[in-house]
Structure 1
Amino acid sequence: MLQNLRDKTSGWIAGAILGLLTIPFAFFGMDQYLFQRNDTFAAKIEAPPNWWPSAPAVWPVTMLWQRDEIKADEFRAAFERARQDQRQQQGEQFDPRAFESVDNKRKVLDTIVDQRVLAMAADRDGIAVGDDLVRKTIQGIPAFQVDGRFDPQRYQLALASQNPPRSPSQFQEEVRKGLQQSLIPNAVVQTAFVTPAELQRVLKLLGERRDVSFAIIPPPAPDAAPITAAEIQKWYDAHRDDYRAPETVSLDYIDVDQSALPAPAVADDATLRQRYDDEKARFVEPEQRLASHILIKVDANATPAQQQAAQAKAAALAQQARQPGADFAALARANSDDAGSKVSGGDLGWVAKGVMVKPFEDALFSMQAGQVSDPVKSEFGWHVIDLREVKPGTQKPFEQVRDQLAREQADNDREHGFNDLIGRMVDEVNRNPTTLAPAARLAKVEVRHAGPIARGQGNGLLANPAVQRVAFSESMIEDGTVSDPIDVGNGHSLLIRVSGHSQAHQLPLADVSSRVVAAIRADRAAKAADAEADRILAAVKAGTPLKDAAAARQLVASDVPALPRGAPMPDAQAVRAFFEAAPPAPGKVSPGKVALGDGREVVFAVSRIIPGNPDEASAEQKLSLQQQMVQAIGEDDVLGLVDSLRARVKVTVAEDRL
């Protein structure tokens, strides 16, 4: 039987059938078998290769596509930052439940996607940022300046003091990446312009005034009519989303504050001297060189003849600069192509290693003071360097830095003590994973209780995004165990345990009936005011002057001639409605109504429009308005560009990871 089976599955017919069967596997899922992995992205961006923009989205062609992923952790961090920004902006008005909406999550994610799409477009189109722009950007950062000038020592110390420390080359690459991402949108913004006719039209609109009459309908008397059970049920059913309780947790927690720990013993001189010997390199002021230069710029696509001509010119200038009595600054002002230093005679100030491009730096630090270099080739062209002075690196003595070492040693000892305490507390938790009491006794702190706390709420340290992520994690809720230490910054670590949990749920009508009744009464009052406004508005539309229509209902109409935009009369919201009304026909009025936030209604009639006079605006006002318009138009153009770029890529969103 086995031989018969073998015979029937051999030969060209069986091979052809097997080949046909492999085709769907190749295009529909074979990559799932060949490339097993656990995806962790919140969104994945895929773009066809630049040389094949119409490449189909099928395997194996998709292996040629450019890809980028936004990790779920990255999205959550961005979402928490957005949450904190909203909380600060809105204060007590902040609604954490509303902020958790799918729309808000997608807005945050879309912002990150837009940034990545622009970066991918820059990479795909070969947009690069030169060293000169990176250098100028870094030198323009105020944190690296002293008295308005870039200071190499401050630059290096600032990078070394960051957490984690960064080398100049690492920081330069970060700046380069940020500049590359912003080059396209910045270039698009710079192409925007406003014509004189457009500026005149906007000035007329901004300066426009309107003759307006309006009557204010006060809020109606509080509704006291009976409300039936059927009405309550109907309102509740129609507005169920307004009566939901958010997901909450109750927490037990302990807070370990590093600053509250006993002060460490003061370090003796032997310890400090050992620290000084181990870290001597930190206390060396780097060698600096006072330099000037002349740049003969050469384009990247220059011909060999142009390159030779530039080199020859640089060599001639170097020869002139070496002549007795030669004025290097005058030669630089007359010949240099470096706009940044030309005016100051080529002066570059004090230069330390890690600031200039490598060919320039290598030449500068191989020279002697008072020497003028031969032409030095860099990506910008040919440089002639004048080394005016050398400030050698110096070692600071122990006595000069002793106080700094003592402070650092005390901070280290305190941090080591804190870390040791946290480690011993973790050991206690491992022995007693469902209670905080032993760890609290060890740290000599009390176990505190908080809750119920809704997601995104909480006070103080409990509002920290890291605490929130742990508190609402599935494992913490299900296990009821103590968390790992949560670093919340400023020398604080929290250990928490979820002692209670409630899923988001619909509140029963019995629990919110008073809120439903209040909502019904508010809705009745708003409809009553709106109906009264409609009656007055109908009379005005029928030809009755607003003054008479208002008087018929014991209301007073006010006439405001030449009302300007932005005037708070009677309310900013009402004024916006006045200026949104259509222009009135000759001999007619343009009526309308608007509901104010305090329950009042305003019925109005616009009788005349007075265009603004552009000549009344000063030159400064016109220039400021033009700049604002150009910026707004440029930003709209960038949004259009991003939309166009996104239309060319495939974005896959993992909704379950948002």
Structure 2
Amino acid sequence: MLQTLREKTSGWIATVVMGLLIIPFAFVGVNEYMSGGPATSVATVKAPPRWWTSAPAWWPVSMAWQHEDISVQDFQMALRNERQSQQAQQGEAFDARQFDAIDNKRKVLEDLIDRKVVELAARRSGVAVSDEALREAIAADPSFQVNGKFDGATYSALLRQQGLTPTTYQQRLREDMTIALVPQGLAQAEFVTDKEFEQVVSAIFETRDVTLAMLPRPAPDTAPVTDAQAQAWYQAHRSDFRKPEQVSVEYVEVDASKLPPPAVDEAELRKRYEADKGRFSTEQRLASHILIPLAAGADAAAQQAAEAQAARLAEQARAPGADFAALARAHSKDPGSAANGGELGWVSRGTMVGPFEDALFAIAKPGDVVGPIRTEFGYHVIRLNQIKGQAGKSFEEVREQLANEANREAATRHYNDIAGKLVSATLDNPDSLAAAAQAAGLQVQKAGPFSARTAPGLLANPAVLRNVFDEQQVADRTASPLIKIDDTHSLIVRVTDHSPAQDQPLQAVKEQVIAAVRADRAEKAAAARADAIVARVNKGEGLKAIADAETLQSVQIPALPRGAPLPSQKGNAALFALPAPAKGKVAVGKVKLEDGTLVVFTVDKINPGDASKMPETQREQFRQQLAQVYASADVQDYVTRTRKQFKVDVHEDRL
């Protein structure tokens, strides 16, 4: 049988067939085999080999290209961070649907791609961050400092709050610093020539001598409006007179401030006090330590070796005349404190990991050394240097504070319980809120009809409006998800009736149409008067003389600076948008201000900014700011040019 198989698979025909089978396997099967399954990246940045920068991207040459993936997890984390940032900035105006739009997701991804491009380019150029630079960056971070000095306890506490180990944090920081080195280098190399500086100062610090004439608001138009005029206006502006979309709703509100206050349990307060007694202590301890790190999952031999090394160092530190700082600098592997002789700064209870803190606060007197102490980071040798502060306050002294905290927590739990019952009940019966309200012990409230502009009270919240005017919600007439107003205030709402936006007949809105026609005629009359004044100035009359003759309010402003709110922000922008006047003439224009006032103005003289008249400190500061602007443009140009050298594949279906 084997001989027969061998005969059948030999010869040139079999070779051709096998070759044809190998090709698709090479493109599909091998890649799938090597990658261990389907790809999980949203984008891949591909760079040609450094020894062949012009290498083509087609197979098999592409196999020599360097690949860097942006994982789905990294993208989702960046998207989550951006969402939190925008929510904090926009508050109630934040629109989740707009944020989740594909264009916005692509923008977040583009930022990640730019970051990956810079990181890859830096590594390919041999850019690296030394351990010393990393330690200096950690020590210089104000977040980790107390009274302007690095504090190891604060460092450890902040990392724990973020769910990071020192190793993970240092790896991320090293990556961030590596990415920043190239832009920093470009920024430091940037400079501004004297000619560039003078040109920018001339434009930015330019002032203008101007004359302003304010036209009074036009008198109300009382002339008759014919039926034909009303009909023509109505037809041209039909959308202005549409009846807006309206809804009627029922809703159930959950507000912690309106729920029955929880009772204070004395035994619970005492238990809380005992469990958190250290929080009410002002005692702080100045400590130093030596860290012998231990990798997660280290075997017994590695643990014994690390513990033995820490024990030897502890014995040396206890010896008379021992220099603990020198031992720490020589042997400690804590990047945040080793260079400072192991000094951690002042440590309070609750800021360090449990075993370390327990050992430190158990030391009897300054100068004593304990160890080895095992924590999640490895083995520590700890020296107490100094004690300050007092022991904790008594229960009676902090009872009111504990009661307030307990009440707030109980109120939050009660709120969460009620909200949970409400949500569960609406999931069981989404077509009505009556049963859900009864299950949660709340009342159903009704409102409407109202439009998005006339929504009353709580229902005017942007999140509520987005829900009740959602097309699907209107069609289904089912209960909404729980809409949060704040952390302890929310509601569930259901649309009970809906009327779409619709045209109204002319007769129903005729008075509004007549008012609109008259307002338009008055506005056009005012604009015509302003145009007439502009025409007179263009013929050679002075604006001030015209204003005086027509009893218009006017003012002459010398050296008006760019950006000043005169006559308003919009007015100032119009004044500086006007081209410079010809020699011996003025430039004239008009602008309608934010409040509807018409202003005719002339630019009488241009006063260029003069760098030589700037104080030395201001001149130097502005030069630095200008260099930063140029550097920012250089960095963006660098990223754009570098991206063109790489190939970026984006998987839109994974966004």
User: Could you say if the C-alpha distance between residues 564 and 346 of structure 1 is closer, same or farther in structure 2, counting changes exceeding 3 Å?
Assistant: farther
- Quote the offset at 1:448 in angstroms: 2.0
Partner of 1:377: none
- Residue identity (%): 29
Residue of structure 2 aligned with 1:444, choices 425, 441, 444: 441
Give SS of 1:449's match.
strand
Cα deviation code 1:265-324 (max 9, x no counterpart):
54454x67777888899999999663499xxxxxxxxxxxxxxxxxxxxxxxxx9xx997
Q: Distance in 2 between matches of 1:247 and 1:207?
A: 50
Gaps of 5+ in 1: 1-10, 89-93, 294-318, 333-337, 357-363, 373-384
Q: Tell me how far apart the structure 1 counterparts of residues 77 and 509 of structure 2 sit (CA, whole Å).
A: 37
Equivalent in the alignment of 1:198: 196
1:563 maps to which residue? 559
Counterpart in 1 of 2:135?
132
Q: CA deviation at 1:623?
A: 3.4
Aligned counterparts of 2:504 and 2:37: Cα–Cα separation in 1: 47
1:434 aligns with 2:431: yes
Retained in 2: the 8 A contact 1:214–1:558? yes
Counterpart for residue 115 of structure 2: 119
Tell me the distance in 2 between the aligned counterparts of 1:154 and 1:348.
Answer: 9
* Structure-2 residue corresponding to 1:48: 46
**What's the CA shift for 1:560?**
3.7
Deviation at 1:169, TM superposition (A): 4.2
Superposition deviation, residue 159 in structure 1: 6.7
Map 1:26-65; keep pairs closer than 5 Å: 45-49=43-47, 51=49
1:544 and 2:547 are equivalent in the alignment: no
CA contact (8 A) 1:371 1:387 kept: yes
Residue in structure 2 matched with residue 253 of structure 1 by the alignment: 251
Once the two structures are overlaid, the 10-residue window that deviates more, 149-158 or 279-288, is 279-288
Higher mean C-alpha displacement, 49-58 vs 198-207: 49-58
Could you tell me which amino acid in structure 1 is paired with residue 114 of structure 2?
L
Which residue matches 1:235?
A: 236
- Conservation of the 8 A alpha-carbon contact between 1:288 and 1:352: yes
- Corresponding residue number in structure 2 for 1:583: 580
Q: Please give the alpha-carbon distance, in whole angstroms, between the structure 1 residues aligned to 2:245 and 2:260.
A: 40
Cα 1:467–1:153 change in 2 (3 A) is: farther
Q: Which amino acid aligns with 2:561?
A: R
String of CA shifts for 1:619-641, please: whole Å, max 9, x gaps.
33323433443344344445545
Q: What is the letter of the counterpart of residue 545 of structure 1? A: E
- Structure 2 matches for 1:141-290, cutoff 5 A? 141=143, 146-149=146-149, 151-153=151-153, 166=163, 169=166, 172=169, 176=173, 179=176, 183=180, 187=184, 191-223=189-221, 224=223, 226=226, 228=229, 231-232=232-233, 235-236=236-237, 240=239, 250-267=248-265, 269=267, 290=287
Q: 1:418 to 1:641 in 2, by over 3 A?
A: same
Distance in structure 1 (CA, Å) of the matches to 2:474 and 2:37? 30
Q: Give the 3 Å change call, closer, same or farther, for CA 156–447 of structure 1 in structure 2.
A: farther
1:437-460 deviation line (CA, Å, top 9, x unaligned): 233234433212345676799677
Q: Hey, what's the Cα distance between the residues in 2 that align with 1:620 and 1:520?
A: 58
In terms of mean alpha carbon deviation, does 472-481 or 176-185 score higher? 176-185
Q: Secondary structure at the match of 1:594?
A: strand
* Counterpart amino acid of residue 500 in structure 1: D
**Structure 2: distance between partners of 1:67 and 1:37:** 14
| Structure-2 separation of matches of 1:430 and 1:328 | 63
Amino acid at match of 1:200: E
- SS of the residue aligned with 1:609? strand
Q: How far apart, in 2, do the equivalents of 1:212 and 1:549 lie?
A: 14
Cα RMSD of the aligned pairs, angstroms, is 6.5
Q: Which amino acid aligns with 2:252?
A: I
1:490 aligned onto 2:487 = yes
The question of whether the paired residues in 1 share the 8 Å contact of 2:245 and 2:502 is answered with no
Tell me whether 1:630 sits opposite 2:609 in the alignment. no
CA–CA separation in structure 2 for the residues paired with 1:500 and 1:213: 57
Deviation string 1:151-204 (CA, Å, 9 cap, x unpaired) is 5555666677x6xx7355499479739955983796255554433333333444
Answer yes or no: is the 8 Å Cα contact 1:484–1:495 preserved in 2: yes
Per-residue deviation, 1:253: 1.9
Shift of 1:72: 9.2
Q: Does the 8 Å CA contact 1:75/1:109 hold for their aligned counterparts? A: yes
In the alignment, the residues of structure 2 paired with residue 246 and residue 605 of structure 1 have an alpha-carbon distance, to the nearest angstrom, of 44
Deviations 1:5-43 (A, max 9, x none): xxxxxx969x979969x98xx89xx99xx999999x9xx
Cα deviation per residue 1:344-375 (whole Å; 9 max; x = unaligned)? 9997634799999xxxxxxx9xxx98799xxx
CA distance in 2, matches of 1:553, 1:562: 22
Q: Deviations over 1:371-399 (max 9, x none)?
A: 99xxxxxxxxxxxx99672779x998996
1:439-495 deviations in Å (ceiling 9; x for gaps): 323443321234567679967765667656665666644443334545554323433
Where does 1:513-552 land on structure 2 (aligned, <5 Å)?
A: 521-541=518-538, 543-547=539-543, 550=546
Measure, in 2, the Cα distance between the counterparts of 1:537 and 1:449.
57
* Residues 37-77 of structure 1: CA deviation (Å, up to 9, x unaligned): 999x9xx6554346498876999999967345697998699
Q: Which deviations, in whole Å up to 9, do the C-alpha atoms of 1:581-613 show, x marking residues without a partner?
A: 333333344344434344444444444434444
Aligned partner of 2:606 in structure 1 is: 609
Structure 2 Cα separation of the partners of residues 427 and 324 of structure 1: 69
How far off its partner does 1:565 sit? Answer: 1.8
Q: 3-state DSSP class of the match of 2:491?
A: strand
Amino acid at match of 1:197: K
Contact 1:213-1:546 within 8 A present in 2 as well: no
Question: Any conservation in 2 of the 1:289–1:389 contact (CA below 8 Å)?
Answer: yes
Separation in 2 of the partners of 1:390 and 1:551?
79
Tell me, yes or no, if the aligned pair for 1:547 and 1:557 is still in contact at 8 Å. Answer: no
SS at match of 2:237: helix
| Residue 550 (structure 1) shift | 3.8
My pick for the range that moved more, 591-600 or 399-408, is 399-408
> For the residues of structure 1 that align with 2:513 and 2:83, how far apart are their CA atoms?
33
Contact 2:68 2:116 in 1 (8 A): no
- The residue type equivalent to 2:560 in the other structure is P
Aligned to 2:309: none
Q: CA deviation at 1:414?
A: 4.8
- What's the offset of the Cα at 1:103? 12
User: Cα distance, 1:522 vs. partner?
Assistant: 4.8
Judge conservation of contact 1:159–1:166 (CA < 8 Å) in 2.
yes
Distance 1:77 1:581 in 2: 43
Q: Does 2:502 align with 1:499?
A: no
Judge conservation of contact 1:582–1:590 (CA < 8 Å) in 2. Answer: yes
Listed as ranges, the gaps of 5+ residues in structure 2 are: 1-11, 291-315, 330-334, 353-359, 370-380
TM-score by length of 2: 0.61
Distance 2:489 2:541 in 1: 69
8 A Cα contact 1:48 1:55, kept in partner: no
* TM-score scaled by length of structure 1: 0.61
- Opposite residue 252 of structure 1, the aligned amino acid is E
Q: Distance in 1 between matches of 2:406 and 2:210?
A: 73
